[in-house]
Amino acid sequence: MILWILLFLLILVVFGFGFTTQALWWVAAVLLGVWIFGFARRGRGRGRRRGGRRYGRSRG
């Protein structure tokens, strides 16, 4: 009887691991799509900020 319980627990663990890895592949694919979308939307600027750079201008 204990052998059947251990076998059942092993099957649950393997099934859970397989389901989790499949779900993680989908999450990784979605995150890759979001990253590509953000990269394409922002462009390949060299860290430019909105409003341009400020070269030591005083406020006064």
CA R_g for the chain: 26
pTM over 0.75: no
* pLDDT tens for each residue of 12-57: 888 888 888 888 889 999 999 999 898 888 866 555 555 555 566 6
Q: What pLDDT was estimated at residue 53?
A: 58
pLDDT at res. 23: 87
Q: Quick one: pLDDT at residue 38? A: 87
Q: Which sign does the torsion angle of CA 27, 23, 21, 13 carry?
A: positive
